[in-house]
Structure 1
Amino acid sequence: MVILKGNSPYGATPIDDYSGLKLKHINTIKELYEAEFLNITSSTSKYLLKPPSNKSFMDRIYLFKIHKTMFSQVWDWAGKKRISNKSVGIDKFQIDIEIVKLIQDFEFWESSNMDTIEVSSRIHHKLVYIHPFENGNGRWARLVTNIYLKQKLNRIVYWPEQELYINNVFRKRYIHSLQSADHGNFADLVSIHQELLEDIIQFT
């Protein structure tokens, strides 16, 4: 049984099974996050540096494909629905039902001309709330949200991902904003999206 040394960041879902870890040289949580970061960086470029697409991203197959792209170099279960319940997230048997509800909600939000940042915050929260995967749900939700923002505004939220890996003031604020959204209060999460929203930096 694989057990990695170190502690997970504040509010992170504990990983209770490392059997799906592909990289056998990893011994610490820090090394794991570094490997995941490299995988995520390459996938972020794939989704965010190409021209905006008019194709709807709110599709179960596409959403799960994004997670697979983000973590497939590190985990066997990347892009696969979790088969156990966690300390956070809904019951495993409700995942597909709630994904369908999210797609329906998204269509309603768009048709009712809800503010784009409000929509992005609601997408972000609902994906984290559902928690469809063994791990990486928050990072996946942030990328999916940015794919939406790129389509709508050609702008994205520049998340301080390195800060989100450590226990600091911003991470606690972020976690608390998601917890507030659990109770229907999206103001804090909307504020974070607004504060960190910027034009996309193009590298040539």
Structure 2
Amino acid sequence: MSPLEIKRLEKNIRIEHVWSSAAIEGNTLSENETAAIIDSGIGATIHGKTIKETLEILDLNRIATLETSQPKSEAGAYRTIEVYPYGSNKRPYALPFEIPEKMQQLQNWSDQARINLHPVQYATDLHQKFVTIHPFRDGNSRTARLLMNLVLTENGYPVINVNPSKNARDKYMQALASAESPENNSQPFRDLIADYVEKELNNRIDILHLNEKYTKEAEESFKDSKINWDKLEQDARAKLKAQKSTSNLKAKD
């Protein structure tokens, strides 16, 4: 693909990631509205949307593009309150006093997992383990998806975006809940993310095949066009030559 096509594709992927990741958390901005905010910044006017939703998009975009650090308020600071998994009010995530140790354990696990596990499983398990700790007050799931995609892209895989539709979101949350349960059944979540990766790889292959097809058709069309132009040029020269010969004969007469 041409550099311009790659740049446009990367921009579309970034917008889709920011939109889908925010939408999963309940943000109601559409993908087009998200694109408008990313392109125009805070100056974009989105009627009927809260300033909080706009700022969420901007913050996530900044993190996703590595242009700035996280927001200054509470971002990056470990939480000091208990929080609970989706659909549960009995079993909290890691207790506040456990967070530093569990984050260190996660780092130690990561150092080994990046070597020993398949990249897709490593990315998936990193997402799940980070969410299970839930170290921050807000943005844990979005951060987990960014970590997952960082691992994927570092290993040559495309960015994946979890579908934010209700059915897809429910499957995503249920698979995470299964991994966070006392049974610690991580396989449904691994299968879910692997399906997203496979689908995105197939999409990329389709794009490349389509690009190859269109490029070949354009080349063939150019060849045909060139032949036609050459023929027209030859015909024009022949007519001009004939006209000159006629003029010379008339002049002699």
Give the TM-score range, shorter chain: 0.5 to 0.7
1:11 and 1:175 in contact (8 A); partners too: no
Shift of 1:130: 0.4
2:124 and 2:193 in contact (8 A); partners too: yes
1:121 and 1:186 in contact (8 A); partners too: no
Q: Secondary structure at the match of 2:65?
A: helix
Shift of 1:159: 2.9
Distance 1:137 1:46 in 2: 17
Give the paired residue count. Answer: 150
- Which stretches in structure 1 are left out of the alignment for 5+ residues? 1-8, 13-27, 48-65
Q: Which digits, 9 at most, give the CA deviation of each residue in 1:177-198, with x for residues without a partner? A: 1111123222221122222223
Q: Give 1:177's aligned residue.
A: 175
Q: Give 1:6's aligned residue.
A: none
Shift of 1:104: 1.4
Displaced runs of 4+ in structure 1, greater than 4 A? 9-12, 28-31
TM-score (norm 1): 0.63
Distance 1:29 1:128 in 2: 28
1:84 equivalent in alignment to 2:81: yes
1:98 and 1:130 in contact (8 A); partners too: yes
Distance 1:29 1:83 in 2: 30
Distance 1:105 1:127 in 2: 11
Q: Secondary structure at the match of 1:46?
A: coil
1:124 and 1:141 in contact (8 A); partners too: yes
82, 94, 101: which one aligns with 2:98: 94
Q: Which amino acid aligns with 2:158?
A: R
Q: Give 1:17's aligned residue.
A: none
Identity of aligned residues (%): 21
The 3 A distance-change label for structure 1 pair 40 and 87 is: same
The 3 A distance-change label for structure 1 pair 146 and 180 is: same
Q: Secondary structure at the match of 1:79?
A: coil
Q: Which amino acid aligns with 1:38?
A: L
2:119 and 2:151 in contact (8 A); partners too: no
Q: Which digits, 9 at most, give the CA deviation of each residue in 1:48-85, with x for residues without a partner? A: xxxxxxxxxxxxxxxxxx9x52xx1xx61011111222
Shift of 1:38: 2.3
Shift of 1:36: 0.5
Comparing both structures, which one devotes a greater share of its residues to helix? Answer: 2
- Of structures 1 and 2, the one with the larger relative CO (CA 8 A, separation 6+) is 1
CA RMSD of aligned residues (A): 3.1
Q: Which amino acid aligns with 1:83?
A: T
Q: Which amino acid aligns with 1:36?
A: E
- Which stretches in structure 2 are left out of the alignment for 5+ residues? 1-22, 27-47, 86-92, 205-253
Q: Give 2:120's aligned residue.
A: 117
Distance 1:85 1:38 in 2: 27
1:150 and 1:156 in contact (8 A); partners too: yes
Report 1:46-195 matches (<5 A): 46=66, 69=70, 72=71, 76-88=73-85, 89-111=93-115, 113-160=116-163, 163=164, 168-182=166-180, 183-195=183-195
* Larger Rg, first or second structure (1 or 2): 2
The 3 A distance-change label for structure 1 pair 10 and 152 is: closer
TM-score (norm 2): 0.52
Distance 1:11 1:37 in 2: 11
Distance 1:87 1:41 in 2: 26
